Amino acid sequence: MTSMYRSGSPMLYPIKLQPVFKDYIWGGRNLEKFGVILPRGKTAEVWEVSCHPDGINIISNGMYKGLNLLDYISVMGKDAVGTDHYSSEHVSFPLLLKLIDARDKLSVQVHPDDEYANDNENGELGKHEAWYIMDAKPGAQIIYHVVDGIDKNDFIESVDKSEIDQSLNYMNVFAGDVIDIYPGMIHSIGAGIVLAEIQQSSNITYRVYDYDRMDKKGNKRTLDIKKALDVIDFVPNNRKAKALGIDLRINSGAHKSFKLANKYFSLEVYWVEGEVEEHTDGSKFYLYLFLEGEAIIKYKNGRISVKAGESIFIPASMGKFTIKGSFKALKMYVPDIESDIIAPLTGAGHSRKEIYEKVCS
Distance CA 76, CA 90 (A): 13
User: Residue 143 falls within a domain, yes or no?
Assistant: yes
The CB density around residue 282, as the number of other CB atoms within 10 Å, is 16
pLDDT of 91 > 80? The answer is no
Do 222 and 346 sit in the same domain of this protein? no
Distance CA 56, CA 52 (A): 6
Note the pLDDT tens digit of each residue in 117-132.
Answer: 999 999 999 999 999 9
Distance of CA 246 to the CA centre of its chain: 19
pLDDT (mean) for 68-97: 88
pLDDT (mean) for 28-46: 97
Residue 88 banded pLDDT, cuts 50, 70, 90: low
| Cβ atoms 205, 186 nearer than 8 A | no
Do 227 and 117 sit in the same domain of this protein? yes
User: Residue 2 falls within a domain, yes or no?
Assistant: no
Note the pLDDT tens digit of each residue in 176-193.
Answer: 999 999 999 999 999 999
Q: What is the pLDDT of residue 219?
A: 84
Mean pLDDT over each residue of the chain, to the nearest integer: 94
The CB density around residue 317, as the number of other CB atoms within 10 Å, is 21
Note the pLDDT tens digit of each residue in 180-239.
Answer: 999 999 999 999 999 999 999 999 999 999 988 887 788 888 999 999 999 999 988 777
Q: Can you give the residue range of the structural domain that contains 275?
A: 246-358
Nearest of 132, 63, 89 to residue 315 by alpha carbon: 63
The CB density around residue 226, as the number of other CB atoms within 10 Å, is 8
Q: What is the pLDDT of residue 8?
A: 43
Q: What is the pLDDT of residue 305?
A: 98
The CATH number for 281's domain is 2.60.120.10
Note the pLDDT tens digit of each residue in 271-328.
Answer: 999 999 999 999 999 999 999 999 999 999 899 999 999 999 999 999 999 999 999 9
pLDDT of 4 > 70? The answer is no
Do 176 and 266 sit in the same domain of this protein? no
pLDDT (mean) for 350-354: 97
Q: Which of 207, 213, 249, 352 is catalytic?
A: 207
pLDDT (mean) for 101-111: 97
Backbone angles phi, psi at 358, to 5 degrees: -105, -20
Do 91 and 38 sit in the same domain of this protein? yes
For 10, the 3-state DSSP assignment is coil
Bridge partner list, 119: none
40 catalytic residue (yes or no): no
User: Residue 238 falls within a domain, yes or no?
Assistant: no
pLDDT of 5 > 90? The answer is no
Question: Any residues with CB less than 8 A from the CB of 277 and at least 6 apart, and which?
Answer: 320, 321, 322
The total of structural domains in the chain comes to: 2
Backbone angles phi, psi at 223, to 5 degrees: -110, 160
DSSP classification of residue 86:
B
Do 320 and 190 sit in the same domain of this protein? no
User: Residue 192 falls within a domain, yes or no?
Assistant: yes
pLDDT of 174 > 80? The answer is yes
Note the pLDDT tens digit of each residue in 135-156.
Answer: 999 999 999 999 999 999 999 9
| Cβ atoms 166, 155 nearer than 8 A | no
pLDDT (mean) for 351-361: 94
Give the range among 57-66, 110-119, 205-214 with minimum mean pLDDT: 205-214
Do 111 and 149 sit in the same domain of this protein? yes
Start-to-end CA distance of the chain, whole Å, equals 41
Predicted TM-score of the model (pTM): 0.95
The CB density around residue 4, as the number of other CB atoms within 10 Å, is 12
pLDDT of 254 > 50? The answer is yes
pLDDT of 62 > 70? The answer is yes
Residue 105 banded pLDDT, cuts 50, 70, 90: very high
